[in-house]
Structure 1
Amino acid sequence: MNAAVVTVGDELLAGRTTDTNATWLCERLAGRGVTVERVTTVPDRIGDIARVVNEYRAEYDAVIVTGGLGPTHDDVTMEGVAAALGRQLEEHEAARAWLEEQGYSYSNLTDGTTALPAGSRALHNEVGVAPGAALEGVYVLPGVPTEMRAMFETIASEFTGTQTHREVVVADEPESALLDRIDQLRNRFDVSVGSYPGESVRIAVESPDETTVADAATWLRERVETGDSDCDR
């Protein structure tokens, strides 16, 4: 399963808000074996949201959109997603009924709070008000991190893929000095390799096969000046 993550908000593009949602979602999806192939931030504009969502839903198994839900003038994500899907926004009876069960009077809700793309499944907001929506592989979640995370957990089981095993070998050598050994590693083992320089060089070895990863990491560790290493499963 592959996926794209789209975060919506002018404040993200201006650097006034750190996009922690994309990082959290990528980590959770990767942990479930889902390959995230795009992370894109778009402004609070219906046309931009519609264009990116329409493009990505044709390319990926799932598109997760966060941000821009609510009653204010710049909360236009649902409109953008509806446009991408060729749907109208309409009052969602199940979303409204759920909010009323939680103690919210419909007369006190701002107009449009429960307007979702026609035919969509409402995703209930257990720590906020604005509902999310799911339709045709597109999932729309709130931008408030606590609300987004809680809502994602209710649909997490819908995201599955091949689990990838990972070990990291930390080499206390310049990255340029490691190139030949990295090439040998890739030729000897059926693994993907990432090299991340810093104070030390972190070499990540990944594969769906746990034994292959362990053997490759052991082989490399024996051939570099190593620091600490870690393993993620």
Structure 2
Amino acid sequence: MRVALVSVGDELLTGDTVNTNAAWLGRELSDRGVAVERTTVVPDRTADIARVVNEYHAEYDAVVVTGGLGPTHDDVTIEGVAAAFGRDVVESKDALDWLEEHGGYSRDDLTERTGHVPEGARVLPNHEGVAPGCVVMSCYVLPGVPDEMQRMFAEIEDEFAVGSRHVEVVETPEPESALLDRLASVQEEFPVKVGSYPGENVRIRFTGTDPDLVAEAAAWMRERVELAGD
């Protein structure tokens, strides 16, 4: 399963807010065996959201959009997603009924745009806030507030359950340039994903769905490099 992440918000582009949602979703999805192949930040503009969602929906198995849900003038994610699929924005009776029954809100408590979703969308209740999420085709629209987004993702995580991911890491003080032959050899020897990341030590990361193969690849490398801390 190939997935693209779209984060909506001017504050993410200006650096006023750190995009922790993309990092969190990347880890959660990768741990389920999902290939996260694109992460993009777009401004609070309907046309930009529509363009990116439309493009990614055609290319990937699923698109996860976070942010821009709410009642203010710059919360335009619903409008953007609706435009991407050529749908109208409509009031959702399911969303409003849920907010009234479970959230304790009366219709008078809610702003005019609360509970609006693209026509035909499946509503995702917001257990930690007010603005609902939704699913349109294979596009999942989640809140930008981290607690709300994480709780909502927990409600749909089974829809991304491809398979468990297993990870092993080998750290070495050897420079990355000196490891190229061994990195190429271990990749040829074992059908797992191998990545190297320089820092104080080089971290060699082995990832795959078969825990035995991941462990064997890491053990192969440990026998052939100087290990950090030795």
Q: Same fold (TM over 0.5)?
A: yes
Q: TM-score, normalised by structure 1?
A: 0.95
| SS of 2:78 mapped into structure 1 | helix
1:44 matched residue in structure 2: 44
1:171 matched residue in structure 2: 172
CA distance in 2, matches of 1:183, 1:111: 58
Matched ranges for 1:77-226 at <5 A: 77-101=77-101, 102-226=103-227
CA distance in 2, matches of 1:151, 1:189: 37
State the 4+ residue runs in structure 1 displaced beyond 6 angstroms: none
Deviation at 1:8, TM superposition (A): 0.2
What is the root-mean-square deviation in Å for CA atoms of aligned residues?
1.0
Deviation at 1:207, TM superposition (A): 2.5
CA distance in 2, matches of 1:44, 1:165: 37
Deviation at 1:136, TM superposition (A): 0.2
Structure 1 residues not aligned, in runs of 5+: 229-233
CA distance in 2, matches of 1:109, 1:192: 49
- Paired residues, number: 228
| SS of 1:90 mapped into structure 2 | strand
Deviation at 1:165, TM superposition (A): 2.1
CA distance in 2, matches of 1:190, 1:13: 38
Deviation at 1:189, TM superposition (A): 1.9
Deviation at 1:86, TM superposition (A): 0.8
CA distance in 1, matches of 2:109, 2:219: 62
Structure 2 residues not aligned, in runs of 5+: none
The answer to whether the 8 Å contact 2:92/2:116 transfers is yes
Q: TM-score, normalised by structure 2?
A: 0.96
Q: Deviations over 1:164-218 (max 9, x none)?
A: 3221110111111111111221222222210100000000112222222111111
Q: Deviations over 1:1-26 (max 9, x none)?
A: 11111000000000000000000111
CA distance in 2, matches of 1:88, 1:189: 50
Q: Share of identical aligned residues, percent?
A: 60
Return the letter of the residue paired with 2:93: E
Deviation at 1:60, TM superposition (A): 1.1
Deviates more, 1:5-14 or 1:24-33: 24-33
CA distance in 1, matches of 2:208, 2:151: 30
1:74 matched residue in structure 2: 74
1:23 aligns with 2:23: yes
Q: Deviations over 1:80-138 (max 9, x none)?
A: 00000110000000000011112101112111111110001111011100011111001
| SS of 1:227 mapped into structure 2 | coil
CA distance in 2, matches of 1:127, 1:172: 45
